[in-house]
Amino acid sequence: MLGKLLIALLIVGFVTAGPVASNQEVVLAGNTTCKTNPPVTPCVLAFFANFGFAGQNGGYPPNTTTFGIALDQYLLKNDIAGWNNLKTWMTTFISCAGGQANFDACLDWQVLMQLCYLPKDAALYYEISFRVLEFETTTPAFDVITHNWFCIKGVEMQEGPIIKQCLQHFTDQQHNNPNMTCQNFGEYLNCIERPYVLHCGRDVGAVSCAAEKIEYAIIYPDCADHVALQCNGPSAFKKYPRLH
């Protein structure tokens, strides 16, 4: 994931005991139903198994930080081949979950809490991770990332402190002006996009910004209208409803 998994700094959720899967059908607000026949939980576990978590803790990572580090290290070590594998794993994950519509319904954090018996922070973390990975492994974002991967890696090594400063500034602004979350969010997106645009071009900046936008849309859904014009990348991004 771009930004070296900054979500690990935002949502600190530790899963200390092996979750027990539930396969009851879950209905969300708005009558969106997660169909669990066949069960969705094995699909989640199969995805985690790609990173070596099978056979421990019920098949789940010991905690969200461990998963974030494993994913980050896998991509940094395997580069383009790693992204190609990740694309295959996400495609398999979505198909296993019953297709796109059911994947969208079942990967809601409230559903994950019930299906996998996860605490709220961990469920939020995994929903964000899965939504961002879905975006990053789908055209056009996948093509932008793989065509510019070594530039992106360079930015994250050279500009890492700047990127972290964006997050720290957002955190400070939230503390000082908690009633201006959406404005603070917009400033953060501009800040996080800038180093990628400067070094790798506008499309890379838009992908990094859009990935962050998906993340924050889950945490701060009321800000969707305020940041609707952020992340001006390829027009194909518009097919992702969480971005607009």
- DSSP per-residue codes, 31-91: S-EE--SS-SHHHHHHHHHTTT-TTSGGGS-SSHHHHHHHHHHHHHHHHHHHHHHHHHHHH
CA 228, CA 215: separation in Å to the nearest integer? 14
In this structure, the answer to whether residues 117 and 211 fall within a common structural domain is: no
Number of domains within the chain: 2
Sequential pLDDT tens for the chain (244 residues)? 665 444 433 433 222 233 334 444 444 444 468 888 778 999 999 999 999 998 778 888 988 999 999 999 999 999 999 999 999 999 999 999 999 999 999 999 999 999 888 999 999 999 999 999 999 999 889 999 999 999 999 998 888 788 889 989 988 998 898 889 888 888 888 898 999 999 999 999 999 988 888 888 888 888 888 877 778 655 444 444 444 3
Integer CA distances (angstroms), 205 to 33, 53, 143, 196, in order? 35, 32, 14, 5
Q: Of 101, 136, 171, at which residue does a domain stop?
A: 136
In this structure, the answer to whether residues 115 and 170 fall within a common structural domain is: no
Integer CA distances (angstroms), 101 to 34, 35, 176, in order? 9, 10, 39
In this structure, the answer to whether residues 121 and 166 fall within a common structural domain is: no
In this structure, the answer to whether residues 9 and 129 fall within a common structural domain is: yes
Q: Of 136, 164, 188, at which residue does a domain stop?
A: 136
Residues in Cβ contact with 209 at an 8 Å cutoff, skipping those fewer than 6 apart: 189, 192, 193, 196, 230, 231, 233
Q: Which domain covers residue 163, as residue numbers?
A: 150-243
**Domain presence at residue 145:** no
**Domain presence at residue 179:** yes
3-state DSSP assignment of residue 26? strand
In this structure, the answer to whether residues 92 and 163 fall within a common structural domain is: no
In this structure, the answer to whether residues 87 and 156 fall within a common structural domain is: no
Integer CA distances (angstroms), 21 to 17, 42, 66, 174, 182, in order? 12, 9, 20, 36, 36
Give the model's pLDDT for residue 233. 58
In this structure, the answer to whether residues 119 and 8 fall within a common structural domain is: yes
In this structure, the answer to whether residues 173 and 213 fall within a common structural domain is: yes
CB 100 within 8 A of CB 91: no
**Domain presence at residue 143:** no
The tokens 């404005």 sit on which residue?
183
In this structure, the answer to whether residues 19 and 121 fall within a common structural domain is: yes
3-state DSSP assignment of residue 27? strand
CA 136, CA 234: separation in Å to the nearest integer? 13
In this structure, the answer to whether residues 97 and 213 fall within a common structural domain is: no
CA 185, CA 223: separation in Å to the nearest integer? 8
Q: State which amino acid sits at residue 160.
A: G
The dihedral formed by the CA atoms of 62, 68, 69 and 73, expressed in degrees to the nearest 10: 130
Helix axes 41-49 and 109-116, enclosed angle (nearest 10): 90
pLDDT in tens, 75-120: 999 999 999 999 999 999 999 999 999 999 999 999 999 988 899 9
Give the model's pLDDT for residue 1. 64
